[in-house]
A = this chain, B = another copy of it.
Amino acid sequence: MTDTAARALAYVQPFETGRAQDRALLGGKGANLAEMMRIGLPVPPGFTLTTRACNAYQAAGRALPEGLWPQVLCELDALQSKMGKTLGDPDDPLLVSVRSGAAVSMPGMMDTVLNLGLNRRSVVGLARRTGDERFAWDCLRRFVQMFSNVVLGLDMHAFELRLEAARRRAGVQTDAELSAEVLRALVDDYEAEVRRQSGAPFPDDPLAQLKAAVCAVFDSWGNARAVIYRQLHQIADDLGTAVNIQAMVFGNMGGDSATGVAFTRDPNTGEARFFGEFLVNAQGEDVVAGIRTPQPIALLGSAMPAAYEQLRDTCALLERHYADMQDIEFTIERGRLFMLQCRSGKRAPGAAIRIAVDLADEGKITRAQALLRVNCDDLTRSMHTRLGPFPASQQLVRGQPASPGAAVGRVVFHPEKAVQFKAAGETVVLMRPETTPDDIAGMVASVGFVTSRGGTTCHAAIVARGMGKPCVVGCEGLAIDLQTGIALCGDRQVREGDVVSLDGGEGVVAWGEAPVVFAAPTAQFATLLGWADDVRGLKVRANADNPPDARRARGLGAEGIGLCRTEHMFGQGGHHPERMAAVQRMIVADTREERVAALADLKPMQRDDFVGIFEAMDGLPVTIRLLDPPLHEFLPTDDQVAALQATDAATAHRLRRKKAQLHETNPMLGFRGVRLGIVFPEIYRMQVEAIFEAADHAASRGVAVRPEIMIPLVGDVAELRLMRDMVIEVAADLGVHVPYLVGTMIEVPRAALVAEALAGPAEFFSFGTNDLTQTTWGYSRDDAEVGFLAHYLTHKVLAENPFVALDQAGVGQLVKMACEGGRRGRPGLKLGICGEHGGEPSSIAFCASLGLDYVSCSPLRVPVARLAAAHAALRAAGQHASASAV
């Protein structure tokens, strides 16, 4: 058997033989430890149990597969030789860490055990060898506690109480002040607690400890919080995790020892400054757990200048090596630096953009790479909110800004409460002394987090940045009493259910509801989108119904309006009661004459709206959809009609009769869209007149007007022909001179099926994928999303909500057929999409693959659409490149 073949079958692999590329097999942590060792960085030796081992373990029904343990023992022998120490040796014991590491980083989701190999015999040897009895007992104390927690699964509260009692008895504030004597007694205490809870003594055989720890890591792949994390981040359940067994180095060996985490750039802002935190005389878990508030990394420079310099150089090297911002863990043992982990650092959405742009500007990556480094969710989240001005008296507390964005919600102190409040429809802010991986469900349910302890690399901060939720940490002015459910802040009391506002970019928490405004986009945001515009082929338009939205959209880069809905101009949405009144007169009209008179009242208002929109979109196309909703949507509710009865019985009667007449069993499949235009041609005629009159008016003032008149809900070419003839007739009657197009929405399956015929009269198609999804699936969106579709998604009957991501296998096939048919009917037919999918990245990529001319989305989605279109172009070019390489 060759070396490679042997390794392929092996479950265990020493760090020396791995590389960064092996992350699927070794997990991210193991692969990066191997890589760091390969490029000569100071990494304590060790070996990795592969993800293959984990999967074999799961396949064997949570049992170590045959051959695994002998391989572990063999690598352990090699490690013992390297270190010159033996696990459990009463004279000079080897201690190891056992840490999980999946292929995809899952911070805080998996379990870690440090100091493994200690027991009551070897602790003596450790004390003798290090000359530090207190250190040795501290290690054993930590080990028993951590092992009891993550491997034995015991309740930690009892251990904390015993630790607290020990501090109280000793009259000290921190664990670091506890003497060797006290720690030894505490270990006795802990072991009694283990026996009390588990009915068995604490395992003192180091190999038994190791085996149990390995199994615990493998088991933790299936624990609830890991499963939730994977669901949240759409990570496959069958990747498995690796286990890293590594010789311990000690940051808790006194004042010349330390441990910390660092980022090569600020993960919160993306700023190119060395960033991190450390604790002197501590082990790694102390930093991440947020129990002690660590010191900023810059202070390490004065405390341990040589180690600090080496750390900075190492970090710079790693960033160059990986061509990305790195998140590292280090330990300084008696002045000597050890690297314990490196990985691409999680970063706040805005930071992701800044880092990508800066790395490209620094020549470390290409612009294309920079574009691909920023995912669309990050871009969306980077368009974060902040708190607007509020009175100083409203300020509750300041803390550290840990994840930008503003949030307003009701305070809860317990993660379970967050879930309950959310289920009841409340918006909640989770307020905790600190958060732990067990809180993940509550964090998912909250819109923001506030912690009284921890720094900007604590658990809450990391999770918040990952989720793109606002977070303020280390609010030292906040005293949270979880028992009473009261947080004291100066002389104010915050109780569950109170409303607070937070700004995670500023690190401030306010009392009550403060104004939330959009933050101005950064320079890097604009730069990145400029690069996106350079590579994308797909144009991006916006859906906008009024001049302010049109202006906002143009400011965000919209290249036209893809959907201007005219129903809002008819008063739908409640903003224009005078229009609604005219519309109702039009609907209850018994004769064509009455209807025409009511429409005449509406026309000037519609015309003025169109003038404003044309001006805002000077030089760009504006697609206007003629009236779409069923008329009954414009009638007052039954209660409103009943209220009218007393004052105007005749109108109430007319309204009631008309409501009965217009009632539909399935309004979604009802009397709307072009069907209105055909049965009541005067409605569409009025709208077309308003459009052309507005266009001529704007054109006369020097505006370049490009109206595109869109007929909704067409299913047969005859419908479209009638409407197109009407538009042409109106244009001729009015003597219109502006260029215009007439086209149709494709939003029922039949339109897609007869697209070739539709392309005769249609100069453009616009896919209304919301309705097309409803009709193709036979799902009434409003009903389904709170009904069976919610069940389908929860129970994974469907992997994705087809109203969110365009269903490429079904709806997408109709879109594709319509594109092909339409182009057969009219070569060069203009094609766009204006459903909500037009702002969703996977859908945009699909649209790009079909060669659509544009997508249209809500104004705030325009930047995302620009980036997604660039991603699609780059990926297609990449595939093209690799295809031609073959």
Residues in chain A within 8 A of chain B (CB atoms): 664-671, 675, 678-679, 713, 715-716, 718-719, 722, 747-750, 753-754, 757, 771, 774-780, 782-784, 787-788, 791-792, 795, 797-798, 807, 809-811, 813-814
B665 and A797 contact, CB distance less than 8 A:
no
Instruction: Describe A's contact surface by its main secondary structure.
Output: helix
What residues of B have a CB within 8 angstroms of the CB of A666 in the complex? Answer: 666-669, 780, 782-783
What residues of B have a CB within 8 angstroms of the CB of A716 in the complex? Answer: 797-798, 810
What residues of B have a CB within 8 angstroms of the CB of A754 in the complex? Answer: 809-810
What residues of B have a CB within 8 angstroms of the CB of A797 in the complex? Answer: 678, 716, 718-719, 722
B715 and A810 contact, CB distance less than 8 A:
yes
Q: Give the CA-CA distance A670 to B780 in the complex, in Å.
A: 6
Q: Give the CA-CA distance A718 to B776 in the complex, in Å.
A: 17
Across the A-B interface, the 7 shortest Cβ-Cβ residue pairs: A666-B780, A748-B778, A669-B780, A750-B810, A749-B749, A675-B788, A666-B668
B782 and A665 contact, CB distance less than 8 A:
yes
B671 and A668 contact, CB distance less than 8 A:
no
What residues of B have a CB within 8 angstroms of the CB of A747 in the complex? Answer: 778
Closest chain B CB from A784 CB (angstroms): 7
11 extra A-B contacts, CB within 8 A, seeds A664-B780, A749-B775, A750-B810: A665-B668, A665-B783, A666-B782, A669-B774, A669-B784, A678-B788, A678-B797, A715-B778, A718-B797, A749-B776, A775-B775
What residues of B have a CB within 8 angstroms of the CB of A669 in the complex? Answer: 666, 668-669, 774-775, 778-780, 783-784
Q: Give the CA-CA distance A753 to B722 in the complex, in Å.
A: 30
What residues of B have a CB within 8 angstroms of the CB of A779 in the complex? Answer: 669, 715
Closest chain B CB from A791 CB (angstroms): 5
Give the residue among A669, A779, A810 with the most B Cβ atoms within 10 A: A669
What residues of B have a CB within 8 angstroms of the CB of A809 in the complex? Answer: 753-754, 757
Closest chain B CB from A860 CB (angstroms): 27
Give the residue among A666, A679, A722 with the most B Cβ atoms within 10 A: A666
Give the residue among A774, A783, A787 with the most B Cβ atoms within 10 A: A783
The oligomer's copy count stands at 2
Q: Give the CA-CA distance A351 to B784 in the complex, in Å.
A: 54
Output the nearest chain B residue to A714 by Cβ-Cβ distance: B778
B748 and A777 contact, CB distance less than 8 A:
yes
A sample of 17 cross-chain residue pairs with beta-carbon separation below 8 angstroms, ordered by A number, consists of: A664-B787, A665-B668, A665-B782, A666-B666, A666-B667, A666-B782, A669-B780, A670-B780, A670-B787, A671-B787, A678-B791, A713-B778, A715-B810, A748-B778, A750-B776, A771-B778, A775-B778
A792 and B678 contact, CB distance less than 8 A:
yes
Q: Give the CA-CA distance A492 to B427 in the complex, in Å.
A: 80
Q: Give the CA-CA distance A406 to B646 in the complex, in Å.
A: 53
Q: Give the CA-CA distance A809 to B780 in the complex, in Å.
A: 25
Q: Give the CA-CA distance A757 to B809 in the complex, in Å.
A: 10
Q: Give the CA-CA distance A733 to B675 in the complex, in Å.
A: 53
A776 and B748 contact, CB distance less than 8 A:
yes
What residues of B have a CB within 8 angstroms of the CB of A715 in the complex? Answer: 777-779, 810
Q: Give the CA-CA distance A753 to B817 in the complex, in Å.
A: 11
Closest chain B CB from A785 CB (angstroms): 12
Q: Give the CA-CA distance A283 to B596 in the complex, in Å.
A: 57
Output the nearest chain B residue to A662 by Cβ-Cβ distance: B787
Output the nearest chain B residue to A716 by Cβ-Cβ distance: B798
B778 and A753 contact, CB distance less than 8 A:
no
What residues of B have a CB within 8 angstroms of the CB of A813 in the complex? Answer: 753
Q: Give the CA-CA distance A209 to B117 in the complex, in Å.
A: 126
What residues of B have a CB within 8 angstroms of the CB of A771 in the complex? Answer: 778
Closest chain B CB from A678 CB (angstroms): 6
What residues of B have a CB within 8 angstroms of the CB of A782 in the complex? Answer: 665-666
Give the residue among A713, A753, A791, A811 with the most B Cβ atoms within 10 A: A753
Q: Give the CA-CA distance A715 to B666 in the complex, in Å.
A: 19
What residues of B have a CB within 8 angstroms of the CB of A757 in the complex? Answer: 809
Question: A675-B788, A678-B791 known; A718 and B780 CB under 8 Å?
Answer: no
Of B713, B783, B791, B792, which is within 8 A of A664 by CB? B783
Q: Give the CA-CA distance A787 to B679 in the complex, in Å.
A: 10
A753 and B780 contact, CB distance less than 8 A:
no
What residues of B have a CB within 8 angstroms of the CB of A798 in the complex? Answer: 716, 718
Closest chain B CB from A632 CB (angstroms): 11
What residues of B have a CB within 8 angstroms of the CB of A788 in the complex? Answer: 671, 675, 678-679
What residues of B have a CB within 8 angstroms of the CB of A814 in the complex? Answer: 749, 753
What residues of B have a CB within 8 angstroms of the CB of A667 in the complex? Answer: 665-666, 780
A750 and B778 contact, CB distance less than 8 A:
yes
Q: Give the CA-CA distance A774 to B780 in the complex, in Å.
A: 13
Closest chain B CB from A822 CB (angstroms): 15
What residues of B have a CB within 8 angstroms of the CB of A719 in the complex? Answer: 797
What residues of B have a CB within 8 angstroms of the CB of A795 in the complex? Answer: 678
Q: Give the CA-CA distance A778 to B784 in the complex, in Å.
A: 17
Closest chain B CB from A768 CB (angstroms): 11
What residues of B have a CB within 8 angstroms of the CB of A792 in the complex? Answer: 678
Closest chain B CB from A816 CB (angstroms): 10
B679 and A791 contact, CB distance less than 8 A:
yes
Closest chain B CB from A23 CB (angstroms): 31
Q: Give the CA-CA distance A609 to B470 in the complex, in Å.
A: 61
Closest chain B CB from A633 CB (angstroms): 11
Output the nearest chain B residue to A771 by Cβ-Cβ distance: B778
Output the nearest chain B residue to A722 by Cβ-Cβ distance: B797
What residues of B have a CB within 8 angstroms of the CB of A668 in the complex? Answer: 665-666, 668-669, 778, 780
Output the nearest chain B residue to A797 by Cβ-Cβ distance: B718
A753 and B784 contact, CB distance less than 8 A:
no
Closest chain B CB from A547 CB (angstroms): 32
Q: Give the CA-CA distance A757 to B808 in the complex, in Å.
A: 14
Q: Give the CA-CA distance A750 to B713 in the complex, in Å.
A: 18
Output the nearest chain B residue to A799 by Cβ-Cβ distance: B718
Closest chain B CB from A722 CB (angstroms): 7
Q: Give the CA-CA distance A784 to B779 in the complex, in Å.
A: 19
Closest chain B CB from A812 CB (angstroms): 9
Closest chain B CB from A769 CB (angstroms): 13
Q: Give the CA-CA distance A104 to B809 in the complex, in Å.
A: 50
Closest chain B CB from A592 CB (angstroms): 14
